[in-house]
């Protein structure tokens, strides 16, 4: 049996490569409700069917930060599994609405990489992730710098 591997080492990332992440997630009403409660986002467009039905989309919208969190999570086995830290997220764009029972998928492009300036055992990988729904409609995009271990220094 082959042992599963969590994440890639810095050396494994190739600029220009696109990783189609294997994980996916259908957003259930319970997911959206729990996240709304945990994050204190009680806007009725996320939690009140009557209110949502009288607004732009006519149905409950999934909280945008839940969409972001789930898509980041889908990338962990491939992108940040060997990370020391996510150094920063930028250019987060909500491209299309996400509704209850939508299924999310993600892909990540490796934009660039560089050795750490202060420590030889790590490097910074700059990536862009796109989350899309079951209809292949892009719903979110973001970029981030990830500080990742180098293989040769692994203990």
* Chain segment 10-26, per-residue pLDDT in tens: 999 999 999 999 999 99
> Does the residue 142 lie in any domain?
yes
Q: Name the residue range of residue 14's domain.
A: 10-26+65-150
Judging by beta carbons within 10 Å of its beta carbon (0-12, 13-18, 19+), is residue 109 exposed, middle or buried?
middle
pLDDT of residue 4: 73
Q: Assign residue 91 a region: left if phi > 0, alpha if psi is -120 to 50, beta otherwise? A: left
Tell me the whole-structure pTM to 2 decimals: 0.91
* Chain segment 99-141, per-residue pLDDT in tens: 999 999 999 999 999 999 999 989 999 999 999 999 999 999 9
> Does the residue 137 lie in any domain?
yes
> What CATH number should be reported for the domain holding residue 15?
3.10.129.10
> Does the residue 37 lie in any domain?
no
> Does the residue 138 lie in any domain?
yes
pLDDT(2) > 90: no
pLDDT(153) > 90: no
**Token pair recorded at residue 96:** 């299309």
């Amino acid at each position: 049996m082959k042992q599963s591997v969590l994440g890639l080492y810095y050396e494994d990332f190739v600029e220009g490569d696109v990783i189609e992440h294997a994980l996916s997630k259908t957003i259930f009403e319970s997911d959206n409700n729990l996240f709304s409660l945990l994050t204190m986002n009680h806007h009725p467009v996320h939690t009140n069917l009557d209110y949502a039905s009288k607004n732009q989309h006519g149905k409950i919208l999934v909280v945008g930060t839940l969409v972001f969190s789930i898509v980041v999570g889908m990338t962990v086995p491939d992108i940040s599994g060997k990370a020391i830290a996510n150094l920063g997220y930028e250019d987060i764009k909500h491209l299309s609405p996400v509704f209850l029972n939508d299924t999310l998928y993600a892909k990540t492009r490796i934009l660039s990489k560089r050795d750490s300036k202060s420590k030889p055992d790590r490097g910074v990988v700059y990536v862009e992730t796109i989350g899309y729904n079951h209809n292949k409609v892009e719903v979110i995009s973001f970029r981030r710098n990830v500080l990742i271990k180098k293989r040769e220094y692994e203990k």
